[in-house]
């Protein structure tokens, strides 16, 4: 039992440390997309977006993993379910946006 409480505490600590990264990842992708959409030259726009999506995935994925591990350790509540659905919706939306961007960029250059 004590080991279970230690694991829960460690996961919560990791979650607290990575929430700042998650927020920074969301803000950075918003800024990079705004800047890259204002660039006229297509190659520079693609490079900016590639870097932005890569940086987003690098910053936000640890939070998603720690959040899902933290939530799955305890009894599910309506609040945790709502937060999980909201966080995963934002993350999935941006990942799908990246997928369609890369698909379009590859088609443009092939």
Total structural domains in the chain?
Answer: 1
Confidence (pTM) = 0.80
Domain that holds residue 7: 2-109
* Closest to 50 in 3D by CA, of 63, 31, 36: 36
Q: Nearest 5 degrees, angle CA 93-CA 94-CA 95?
A: 95
Q: Which residues contact 39 (CB under 8 A, 6 or more apart)?
A: 45, 48
**CB neighbourhood size of 71 (10 A):** 18
pLDDT tens readout for residues 40-55:
888 899 999 999 999 9
Structure tokens at 1: 């039992």
pLDDT tens readout for residues 72-96:
887 888 888 999 999 999 999 999 9
**CB neighbourhood size of 18 (10 A):** 20
Residue 48 contacts residue 75 (beta carbons within 8 Å): no
């Amino acid at each position: 039992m004590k080991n279970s409480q230690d694991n829960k505490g460690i996961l919560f600590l990791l979650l607290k440390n990575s929430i700042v990264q998650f927020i920074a990842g969301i803000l950075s992708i918003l800024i990079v997309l705004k800047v890259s959409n204002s660039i006229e030259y297509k190659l520079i726009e693609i490079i900016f977006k590639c870097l932005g999506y890569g940086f987003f995935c690098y910053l936000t994925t640890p939070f998603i993993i720690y959040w899902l591990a933290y939530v799955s350790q305890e009894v599910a509540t309506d609040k945790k379910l709502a937060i999980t659905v909201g966080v995963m919706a934002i993350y999935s939306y941006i990942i799908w946006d990246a997928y369609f961007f890369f698909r379009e960029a590859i088609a443009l250059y092939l």
